[in-house]
């Protein structure tokens, strides 16, 4: 499979996951429940989340396509990728639908660990291409801190 096809495949999967997560967000950000939460002072404006996730998923799709092509341990890569998708999608219903920031925090922490594994375990193989997953890792660290703040102060 050519790299372009792989990138398109991962784009489809990543944006489908975002759409499913968005479905479970529903009125989340505009809901009274979320509005009344004590949120971290460093919480970005609402529009930043859409821009960040779109950019992250584009970069991550390129990263995964390159990693899949370069790494002979493809079964392990795909397994971790699927687990990552599950934790990514699960956060939205856990946080917004079930209104359970504590369990959502566990989900995002597991997600962060998996992305960190991709980043650090494959850095020698991926070299400069590792920069493509760095925004995902950084954003997850920020999002985890936002989630932890909500758990701590609400």
- 102 in Cβ contact with 145 (< 8 Å): no
- Runs of H (alpha helix) within the chain: 3-25, 32-35, 46-70, 74-92, 101-121, 123-126, 134-153
| CATH topology assigned to domain 3-153 | Ferritin (1.20.1260)
Q: What pLDDT shows up at residue 24?
A: 80
Q: Angle at which helices 46-70 and 3-25 pack, to 10 degrees?
A: 150
Structure confidence by residue, pLDDT tens digits, 32-84 = 999 999 999 999 998 898 899 999 999 999 999 999 999 889 999 999 999 99
pTM over 0.85: yes
Q: What pLDDT shows up at residue 1?
A: 67
Closest C-alpha among 47, 57, 49, 55 to residue 17: 57
For the chain, the structural domain boundaries read 3-153
Q: What pLDDT shows up at residue 50?
A: 87
Q: What pLDDT shows up at residue 57?
A: 97
Calculate mean pLDDT across residues 147-152: 98
């Amino acid at each position: 499979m050519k790299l372009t096809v792989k990138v398109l495949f991962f784009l489809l999967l990543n944006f489908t996951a975002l759409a499913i997560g968005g479905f479970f967000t529903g009125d989340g950000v505009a809901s009274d429940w979320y509005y009344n939460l004590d949120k971290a002072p460093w919480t970005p404006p609402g529009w930043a989340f859409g821009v960040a996730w779109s950019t992250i998923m584009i970069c991550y799709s390129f990263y995964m396509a390159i990693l899949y092509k370069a790494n002979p341990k493809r079964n392990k890569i795909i397994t971790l990728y699927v687990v990552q998708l599950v934790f990514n999608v699960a956060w939205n219903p856990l946080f917004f639908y079930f209104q359970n920031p504590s369990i959502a925090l566990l989900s995002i922490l597991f997600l962060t660990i998996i992305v960190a594994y991709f980043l650090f375990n494959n850095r020698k193989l991926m070299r400069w291409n590792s920069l493509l997953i760095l925004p995902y890792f950084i954003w997850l660290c920020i999002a985890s801190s936002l989630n932890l703040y909500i758990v701590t102060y609400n």
